Structure 1
Amino acid sequence: MSSMGLQSARTRPEDLPMKANLTRRRLLLGGLSMLALASAGCQSVPTGLPGEPQQQQPSVTEALPPANGEIIGAGAVRVAMLLPLSAPGSGGKIGIELRNAAQLAIEDLGADSLQIVVKDTAGEPAQALAMATEATAEGSSLVLGPVFAPEVIQAATVLRQAGKIAIAFSSDQTVAGGGVYLNSFLPQSVVDRTAAYAFSQGYKTFVAMVPNNAAGALAERQLQQTLGVLGGALLQVERYDPSDASVQTAASNIAAKAGEAQAIFIPDGGNSPSAVAAALRSNGVDLSGKKLLGTGLWSSAVLGDPTLTGAWFADTDQQKLGEFKARYAQKFGAEPSTNAVLSYDSVALAVGIVRLHGPVGFTPAVIEARSGFTGYGGVFRFGSDGSNQRAYTVYEVLPGGQRKVVSPSPTSFSGA
């Protein structure tokens, strides 16, 4: 680590007890992914599930066989959850958080709404394959997980053969498709939201300083694609490694075009936004009148540098996310990472599908509803390629590193 402290933040892969009854009622009336249970006349929210609710749900005609793993809930429809519970380090931590969020969802929505069988993949592809095989043999109608891309690849081989759909939590879009859907925070959507909002506010010419890693390359490609569609111009891109010297070299190389550009895109976290801005200034770039842009990584970045005041970045709606995190912390004693909300929303979505369509409802036609779904993590929908599209909030950095909303998250998908 350099003296400047340049670092990349990892991509993130309040209801008190007295409000519990109100929260449960809100969930059942359509506040989360199971919005399909709400009145069909509510035009302000996406229903998510096509067609009218059935008067009688399809019943489970055969008793489910015994299952291996922890069982959460006592519903007649079984869903397997493949998580890296015993994986070392952060992998095991996120596995436990996803498991806890699933429990919270089942408690909110009713123990008889679903039966979740939690299976430990240990973060190992071979184990994920074995657990997926076991889940199909045990009559699971849907699989939630796995988390890591190599696990998803292996589990998908057996799930596709069995005709089962998986809603995985990987942020690697290359593993999606063929019955595998990703409920995750794909970085492409965040980049698109940031750039599109800046363009709508009159910023048409961009340069980008991106970290020299896979995430940086992904952000660069999406920025090029978004600006290409909108008619904007990406004048130059420079990549940097996590060292002062590399950042200075990149800033020197891009200085001339940065002087011409209206916006400077920095899709990195930690101290990187401030470090990049300082390097640009030291190379003669006048940042006054230019708009600095970031991504959700800025939520955990050091933003107190006055140079960053006025910058914009897109991220998940932090108010709604904060409500979930507070409820989680109230029950489990610690605030979870942002990814935990994906488990809650996925379980709520599964419950909504079962209540409308029974165990036969986990089909592409239902999962890919263009109206989408909504949850604590915001409005989202799945594409036919297994990727997802999400609604994000755009924030502006205030003095002292605080932030305010300048463009709220959309509450529905226009034209859906």
Structure 2
Amino acid sequence: MKLWTMPGRRAGFLTGALAALLALGGCMGSDVPYGVPQTNGQSGFNQPFADNAPRQPATGEVIGSGDTRVALLLPLTGEGNASRIAAELKNAALLAMDDSGMQTLELVVKDTGGTTEGATAAATQALTEGASAVLGPLFSANVRAATPALQATQTPMIAFSSDRAAASPGVYLNSFLPQGVVNRTLTYAAGQGVRSVVAILPEGAAGDLAEAEARRTMQQTGGELTAVARYAYDNMSVYEAVQSVADAVRSADAVFIPDGGSSPATIVTTMTETGIDVSNKKILGTGQWTSANLADPALQGAWFADTDQARVNTYKQRYQARFGAEPSLTSALAYDTVVLVANIAKGGGGVQRHALETPVGFNGYTGLFRFNGDGTTERGYAVYEVREGRPQVIDAAPTRFGGSF
């Protein structure tokens, strides 16, 4: 049996994905039309200041000189990795402003310190200064802390948390919600004839979310989640989890392992080494698998859903050329968000909720996405098969909403 190591984590469960068209600096096109409605300057909600009203000077780092002021809330002085991630998001925003044109927005970067108190203060200050919208914060607790002030003025927020519970009307999450990638993997598998699935999941909140979505998706597609096992991060726990569902695995079409790092290979190897034949079973995963060793023989032929890596890699190459370091996937969310808001601002009338909720969605470096009225995000993911140690696209990410993936 393989020695257990704690799996790597990408932010937002992938971690942990503008045209409605975002021009993306001329580097990317899309056949989704830019679907933001034309306006006559009326917002459809109450903004704290009219765009043509005198504004007080902004507090924070100012990027751009546009008529529409937007605040970007980041944990620039936060503890741990928070400040590093914040620096990446700010760099991504700067790259987006370069591409969109410095005259499209006045982007004001504000430091939350990574705390709820800091998030509340930064959001309140942004409103006082006449921000048409707030981008960020990053952490779910900070999103919740900033929400009351923004909802009181119906000022939209586009935050980067992957906690679905942090979303609400007018508080949108441009992130990778775990439910979406689970749904994409299992829906595709069902379309290929998979009807019965056994899930082997980590203990904790991530496992809870994966189980709930797996049950819902399998029921929706006419299949069944026939058994579930949970494990902690040690060899004995994995062994016991595998043995507890051994009979169910033998009669199932597929085994679903949504965790990353060493988890997928360890679990599949444990099954084979304890006499469970999985040679005729489809192994299924999620975008967490980008942190796994896909060269492991145990994972060959497996399927998993993830963002369109070709687009993401284009973004990463541009970021590295500009800033000299490889960025995280999370930073691409900030790029897409700033370009989206800049394109909306070009139409006049500020950043409006009905424009953000356009049903045709947007296309960016993180792929196709759209905001729902409840603040959650739908995304278009590609499906990959592990072949010769590398992920190969077997079902491309969609280019528009409305049809099957």
What TM-score, normalized to structure 2?
0.92
Deviations 1:223-272 (A, max 9, x none): 11111111111110000000000000000000000000111000111111
**Structure 1 residues 328 and 30: CA distance shift in structure 2, 3 A:** closer
Letter in 2 for 1:27: L
Partner of 1:86: 77
CA distance in 1, matches of 2:283, 2:367: 25
User: Secondary structure of the equivalent of 2:349?
Assistant: helix
- 1:72 corresponds, among 57, 63, 66, to 63
Partner of 1:302: 293
Compute the displacement of 1:60 (Å).
Answer: 2.7
Aligned: 1:214 with 2:205: yes
- 2:356 corresponds, among 341, 349, 367, to 367
Aligned: 1:27 with 2:24: yes
CA distance in 1, matches of 2:358, 2:241: 44
Compute the displacement of 1:47 (Å).
Answer: 2.2
Partner of 2:89: 98
User: Secondary structure of the equivalent of 1:191?
Assistant: helix
Partner of 2:383: 394
**Structure 1 residues 46 and 201: CA distance shift in structure 2, 3 A:** farther
Partner of 1:414: 402
Compute the displacement of 1:195 (Å).
Answer: 0.4
Deviations 1:180-211 (A, max 9, x none): 00000111100000000111111111000001
Deviations 1:285-341 (A, max 9, x none): 101111000000101111222121000001110100000011001111101000001
Partner of 1:195: 186
CA distance in 2, matches of 1:6, 1:224: 28
Letter in 1 for 2:229: E
CA distance in 1, matches of 2:157, 2:381: 24
CA distance in 1, matches of 2:39, 2:120: 35
User: Secondary structure of the equivalent of 1:74?
Assistant: coil
Compute the displacement of 1:64 (Å).
Answer: 1.8
Aligned: 1:381 with 2:378: no
- 1:253 corresponds, among 229, 244, 248, to 244
Compute the displacement of 1:11 (Å).
Answer: 2.8
Compute the displacement of 1:161 (Å).
Answer: 1.2
CA distance in 2, matches of 1:415, 1:394: 16
Partner of 1:18: none
CA distance in 2, matches of 1:217, 1:5: 22
CA distance in 1, matches of 2:152, 2:256: 43
CA distance in 1, matches of 2:337, 2:150: 18
User: Secondary structure of the equivalent of 2:329?
Assistant: coil
What TM-score, normalized to structure 1?
0.90
Identity %: 45
- Map residues 268-283 of structure 1 onto 2, 5 A cutoff: 268-283=259-274
- Map residues 149-298 of structure 1 onto 2, 5 A cutoff: 149-298=140-289
Partner of 1:8: 7
User: Secondary structure of the equivalent of 2:199?
Assistant: strand
8 Å CA contact 2:361, 2:370 repeated in 1 = yes
Give structure 1 stretches of 5+ with no counterpart.
14-24, 36-43
Letter in 2 for 1:185: F
Compute the displacement of 1:30 (Å).
Answer: 9.6
8 Å CA contact 1:101, 1:343 repeated in 2 = yes
8 Å CA contact 1:9, 1:268 repeated in 2 = no
The list of structure 1 runs, each at least 4 consecutive aligned residues, that deviate by more than 6 angstroms after superposition, is: 56-59
User: Secondary structure of the equivalent of 2:197?
Assistant: strand
User: Secondary structure of the equivalent of 2:347?
Assistant: helix
Letter in 2 for 1:214: A
Q: CA RMSD in A?
A: 2.0
User: Secondary structure of the equivalent of 1:208?
Assistant: strand
User: Secondary structure of the equivalent of 2:260?
Assistant: coil
- Map residues 45-64 of structure 1 onto 2, 5 A cutoff: 45-50=32-37, 52=38, 60-64=51-55
Give structure 2 stretches of 5+ with no counterpart.
13-21, 44-49
**Structure 1 residues 414 and 178: CA distance shift in structure 2, 3 A:** closer
User: Secondary structure of the equivalent of 2:187?
Assistant: helix
User: Secondary structure of the equivalent of 2:109?
Assistant: strand
CA distance in 2, matches of 1:262, 1:5: 26
User: Secondary structure of the equivalent of 1:221?
Assistant: helix
Letter in 1 for 2:363: T
Compute the displacement of 1:26 (Å).
Answer: 5.1
Structure number with higher helix proportion: 1
CA distance in 1, matches of 2:115, 2:365: 29
CA distance in 2, matches of 1:53, 1:341: 28
CA distance in 1, matches of 2:373, 2:8: 31
User: Secondary structure of the equivalent of 1:113?
Assistant: coil
Deviations 1:123-145 (A, max 9, x none): 10011000001000000000000
CA distance in 2, matches of 1:397, 1:30: 29
8 Å CA contact 1:293, 1:313 repeated in 2 = yes
Partner of 2:319: 328
